[in-house]
């Protein structure tokens, strides 16, 4: 009986991590579903939904984790059903970097009904004048107007743009 697990791997970035890890999984008939694989700073992170026979994924990946110095975490028996949830709002945020931007913005927007589907952030600018940039795709559960209204409470110096997404179905 096949089941789904979620594998998380993190380690120092180097060329070939994805190819080596996925070849081992493929060789043992592990099928990939949705995945996120991204370099963050000097680290590379992978989260892989995997459909597989009853087996010890930790043991399967032990060798490669040691040779590439990756940290491994396996969540077994995660849900098999994963219907895509379409975002209906896109939010971009940026400002001079300081601690607490994500906490402040997401708390205010969560109160106004924002369900985050995808959020990523980056630090740009120069070392002495860093800029913090965040993009969010989510669902405006109380409507986009509620988010726009709530955004007025966000501190000065943080620029925020809220754009409705009207998905084309054709």
Minimum distance from CB of 21 to other proteins (Å)?
A: 20
Residue 40 near other proteins by CB under 8 A: no
* Contact positions with other proteins (CB under 8 A) in 72-101: 83-84, 86-87, 90, 92
Residue 165 near other proteins by CB under 8 A: yes
Helix or strand holding residue 74 (H, E): strand 70-75
Minimum distance from CB of 88 to other proteins (Å)?
A: 9
> Is 74 or 164 the residue whose CB approaches other proteins more closely?
164
Distance CA 107, CA 30 (A): 38
The residue range among 2-10, 24-32, 48-56, 153-161 that interacts with other proteins, by the rule CB under 8 A, is 153-161
> Is 9 or 89 the residue whose CB approaches other proteins more closely?
89
Which strands make up the sheet holding 31-40, listed edge to edge?
31-40, 43-52, 3-12, 70-75
Binding mask 101-130 for other proteins (x = CB under 8 A): -----------------x-x----------
Residues contacting 32, CB < 8 A, separation 6+: 22, 25, 48, 49, 50
User: Sign of torsion, CA 62 43 17 22?
Assistant: positive
Contact of 70 with 10, CB cutoff 8 Å: yes
Contact pick of 12, 24, 38, 96 for other proteins (by CB under 8 A): 38
Contact pick of 1, 59, 127, 168 for other proteins (by CB under 8 A): 168
> Is 67 or 166 the residue whose CB approaches other proteins more closely?
166
Burial-class residue 135 by CB neighbours within 10 Å (0-12, 13-18, 19+): middle
Long-range interactions of 125-130: CB distance < 8 A, separation 24+: 125/97, 129/96, 130/96, 130/97
Applying CB under 8 A, the residues found at the interface with other proteins are 38, 83-84, 86-87, 90, 92, 118, 120, 135, 137, 144, 148, 151-152, 154, 160-170
């Amino acid at each position: 009986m096949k089941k789904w697990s979620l594998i998380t791997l993190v380690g120092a970035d180097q060329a070939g991590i994805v190819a080596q890890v996925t070849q081992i999984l493929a060789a043992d008939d592990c099928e990939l579903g949705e995945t996120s694989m991204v370099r963050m700073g000097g680290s590379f992170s992978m989260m892989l939904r995997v459909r597989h026979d009853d087996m010890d994924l930790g043991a399967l990946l032990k060798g490669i984790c040691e040779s590439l110095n990756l940290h491994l975490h396996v969540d077994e028996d995660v849900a098999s059903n994963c219907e895509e949830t379409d975002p209906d709002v896109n939010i971009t945020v940026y400002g001079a970097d300081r601690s607490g931007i994500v906490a402040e913005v997401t708390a205010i927007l969560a109160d106004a009904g924002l369900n985050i589907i995808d959020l990523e952030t980056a630090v740009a600018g120069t070392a002495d004048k860093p800029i913090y940039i965040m993009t969010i795709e989510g669902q405006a559960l109380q409507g986009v107007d509620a988010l726009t209204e709530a955004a007025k409470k966000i501190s000065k110096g943080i620029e925020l743009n809220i754009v409705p997404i009207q998905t084309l179905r054709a």
